[in-house]
Amino acid sequence: MDIWKYYDITHKKHLLCNPMSKDKLDGLFLLLDLKPNSKVLDIACGKGEPLIRLTELFNISGIGVDISPYFVKDCEEKKNKRVSNSDIKFLEMDGSKYRPKRNELFDLTMCIGASFIYNGFTGTINALKKVTKPGGLIFIGEPYWLKEPDDEYLKISGMKKEEFNSHFKNIDIGEKEGLTCIYTLVSSHDDWDHYETLQWWSAYDYATANPNDTDNSELLNKIKKSKMEYLMYGRDTLGWAIYIFKRQ
Ligand SMILES: C[S@@+](CC[C@H](N)C(=O)[O-])C[C@H]1O[C@@H](n2cnc3c(N)ncnc32)[C@H](O)[C@@H]1O
């Protein structure tokens, strides 16, 4: 089954495609000191909610990049509905290949839930640092180990222990790369449950509404596997945070 179709179906009901609550993210946005036309870049922007919300609050000028044609279409529809006259653009492409025009630097850059694009957390810090103004902010959303992962969890999920760090290490890496961590937003169990279980709901709804889709058995098998992994291991093993770094 096409991977982007899978994510489109399983994230149909999500506003944010990451395990942070919308209210916590909005609380962070209200702390920002962005001005009209402040430049914001969102790599792997998902369905565009962060950029659109920042436009509603500050009338920023923004670029969102995502590889999924389904999500970029959602972004365009949302833009037309909520901020049609704004200076935000959505690009359907591989985020790792995005280069700003005329080497422009951004006041705020983010990559929330997609550090694999840059081969991990350190790579993401370095990539975003290059396109952020001195004094600007960098938001990175990343999982962290709450505890040592069980071997069986690594085996069935295909994850490697080295893929993620502890919460402390995520902050330490950013600081060793010359940034200052000024704030963190950490997801609760409730936030993670919302993110994970809404995928189950969307998948079962889709299969009921589209009984003749030949992808249904693969879709439901994948959801069943991810449900078991989350309930048996992930829920107590992986945490999630958005790290707010300042480039000095
Ligand atoms: C966990 S979601 C996070 C989406 C968004 N940042 C949010 O928080 O709502 C990961 C996103 O990465 C996108 N993605 C995956 N590989 C990508 C790539 N190589 N370049 C750009 N986007 C990519 C997916 O389409 C998806 O929207």
Please tell me the residue having the least CA distance from ligand 1 atom 25: 68
- Distance CA(122)–CA(172), nearest Å, equals 10
Q: What residues contact residue 123 under an 8 Å CB cut-off, 6+ apart?
A: 115
pLDDT tens readout for residues 141-155: 999 999 999 999 999
Q: What is the pLDDT of residue 94?
A: 98
Average pLDDT in the 201-221 region? 98
pLDDT of residue 154: 97
Could you identify the atom of ligand 1 that is nearest to the CA of residue 46? Answer: 27
- How confident is the model at residue 97, as a pLDDT? 97
Q: What residue has token string 């970029």?
A: 72
Among 5, 14, 17, say which to mutate for ligand 1: greatest number of ligand atoms within 8 Å of CB: 17
Confidence of residue 213 (pLDDT cuts 50, 70, 90): very high
How large is the average pLDDT for residues 49-58? 98
pLDDT confidence tier of residue 222, bands split at 50, 70 and 90: very high
Q: Which of 5, 29, 75, 117 to mutate to test the pocket of ligand 1 (most atoms within 8 A of CB)?
A: 117
For ligand 1, residues with CB inside 6 Å are 16-18, 44-46, 65-68, 71, 94-96, 112-114, 117
- Model pTM score: 0.97
Please report the pLDDT score of residue 25 as a whole number.
97
Give the tokens for residue 168.
């402390």
* H or E element that contains 99: none
Report the pLDDT averaged over residues 91-115: 97
Helices (H) and strands (E) in the chain, counts: 10, 7
| Under 8 Å between Cβ of 34 and 107 | yes
Question: What are the tens digits of pLDDT across the range 26-51?
Answer: 999 999 999 999 999 999 999 999 99
The CA-based angle 19-116-153, given to 5 degrees, is 65
Kindly give the distance from the C-alpha atom of residue 180 to the centroid of ligand 1, in angstroms, as a whole number. Answer: 25
Distance CA 238, CA 15 (A): 22
- Which of 54, 68, 226 is the best mutation target for the ligand 1 pocket, counting ligand atoms within 8 Å of the beta carbon and taking the most? 68
According to the model, what pLDDT value does residue 2 have? 97
> By the 8 A CB rule, do 118 and 124 touch?
yes
User: Given pLDDT bands bounded at 50, 70 and 90, which one contains residue 168?
Assistant: very high
Q: What is the pLDDT of residue 70?
A: 98
Average pLDDT in the chain: 97
What number is the average pLDDT over the span 204-212?
98
114 CA to middle of ligand 1, Å? 5
Instruction: Give me the DSSP letters along 82-143.
Output: H-TTSEEEEEES-GGG---GGG--EEEEEEES-GGGGTSHHHHHHHHHHTEEEEEEEEEEEE
